[in-house]
Chain A
Amino acid sequence: MIRIKNKQYNLVGGFLGWVWLLIVVIPIYYIVVTSLRDQSEIYSTNPLSLPSKPTLDAYGRVFANDFLLYIGNTLFVTLVTVVLTLLVTIMAAYAITRRADGPARTIYKVIIVGLAIPMQATIIPVYYLIIKMGLYDTLWAIILPSVGFAIPITVMILCNFLRDIPQSLFEAMEVDGASEFKIMFKLAIPMIKPAIITVAIYDALQVWNGFLFPLILTQSQSNRVITMSLWAFQGQFTVDIPGLLAAVVVSVIPLLTAYIFGRKQMVAGLTAGFSK
């Protein structure tokens, strides 16, 4: 009885579902086979055929180009940004929800304004500030504005979860004479751990795949992150199509691995901006 509606097959949806699968899979298949192809085959064979003699040479060229350094830079930028963001937002969200008074509400409203604004439009003053701070062309030039931009959504999500903790639990700890700091660490943080993981993933993905800040705020090769190096490869490997696409494949592997092992958390993280 419950499943009755599915007796009639959803033809349009079904058709679209399989067509979309092809649209998703073909580009992915294309980059993988092309990255395994020999350079000489690129213009002659069918682009979707399997390589006649698959080779990993292209990957060798990618790693010979300091790709590991770029992955290291990206990891550093991502980790520091996420840790800093969590540190400041957990404290803020805790104070905002615990106090729930006039000033706390005002602070929340001010922060949340950031959600309705296309922040990228403010890159020129951000560039100015970073130069004035003497941070231009350092990894910190990417980290600090990324933290600033991550704050509105992170605070909003953390507040939504903190509000669900029963007031009586806080009161019980207060009666026991626990300090606010202790209540935050022993009660609030453990109770919203899933939310913290979700926002951490969301913020990490934004930074990991970020392009605008590194483009504008860094310059030298030693400070390249993955997205910048892909972009630089594009200029450098103009004829080496397998090499360029191998770099694309390598750039996706870390997140793909994360997706395979923690699909639920990754999905929750990516869609965190939309739902609670």
Chain B
Amino acid sequence: MSGKARLFISGVMLVALSAFSPSSSLAKDVQGKALVNDYCTACHAETDDGGLARISDVRKTPEGWDMTLFRMQNLHGLEIDSDERFAIIKYLSAEYGLSPSESEPFRYVLEQRAHFNDIAVNDDLDALCGRCHTNARYGLQRRTEKDWLKHMHFHVGQFPSLEYQARSRDRFWWQEVTTETYKELAELYPFKTDAWDTWKGADHKSPAGSWRVTGYRPGIGGYQGMMTVTRDGDFYKADYDLYDMTGGALSGDSKAVIYTGYEWRASGMLNGAETREVYALSEDGMRMTGRWHQAAHYDIGGEFQAVRMAGAEAQVLAKSSDYIRVGQEKEITLHGIGLTGKVSSDKGLGLNVTRQDATSVTVKITAGKNMSPGAYVVTVGQAVTEIIVYDKIDRLQVTPDWTIARLGGGKTPPVTAQFEAVAYMTGKDGDIKIGVMSADWQLHAFDEEAEHMKDVEFAGTINAQGTFMPGAAGPNPSRKYATNNAGNLKIVAQVTDGDTIISGEAQLIVTVQRWNTPPIR
């Protein structure tokens, strides 16, 4: 099983590396088409309208096609090498892909986020599909009505336990999915859409060029800098010149493929750690957004936003800090594009520019003792941002307020959970977000059962940055019932604000390893 899991990971992501060197011409879509005709037609017959059975009735993300090929290789005897596999995925993603607007609601799963909010359209679909998959899994597929029905036949043929599982055995599963559900899915996620027709025929922009990058690493903080993308055959090379908010360098590069005209997938290195990048290029080619993560730890990574330098309006994209306390003086750096204009602010905020160039402005900000708390506008020429002035913290919110972490061991690394303490003050029209504060972190038993089972002792530890590191997987002979180190924990953050200690709480379920880790969960 673990061997298969690794193959999965090697799919779309590593393709960029393996196919990069020898012969980049392999990646051409025309070659992908020839390979599909060579390999797939052994089973997938040509249809009356010139397509191929099943293949021409389905649209998927590159990861979706990667998983299909994985299944064909492992269960149906397809034998192809990694270059051929890559060319086929590239062709199928171009011919039968998802438009930017179709993939947009479900990018969290493509981005391999450890924490996300996965909401089904309705409870039935959540029980029928979402009990095993993320709801994004089927939301990232488009099929003809006929093919959604075939998908049901496949499911119960491949997974005979399906009808017996909890949230399935209380309903006439087979009857329901073959009379109702497939039609509902065909309506929600139809094969033919205007969005796809338009995107397929659109002028897809090249990512080559110079980009202003800002981003955020949960638990660590913001980063900013530049990315230069150059074309190399069918691939792209990105060179990063990035810095965290204390000025520490984050340097590296990556090799990328653009699938479906906008899906940036890359393998790279950042400060010596191997990374994977999952970004979407905007339809106008002016922005790139997404998430990167460590190759070995999908839970550890950063938010990423890039704005193309050429033709960009003046704008502030990130700040070294979002807030200042009444009576304090603080140096804050604004990062963005076209920041050459005059620096000014709402009345009352003291500004003293200490350094300024087109991409960064450092300002010594003074919040006088008598200032009213609130959001103060700061402008740099045409670029506008806000600094929050607060006098006291009224509420501390731990985010996420509920999440899971997974125990680690053997070939399956732990999945950490990252918490942050976000401060709020009470304003006239409701709470005003101040920003992320450094906090003292504590673990407590969430309830009596967790207390009884001593979950705090076994489930893991939390560090000063709010990162929860789960314990080791497997039965633990020193625990009651020799059970594993799973736990139900209350995460408590405490921030000292003047003479007051403000607390916030979240819940963390520490659960077992996940053995099956396909690109789309």
Query: Do chains A and B stick together as partners?
Result: no
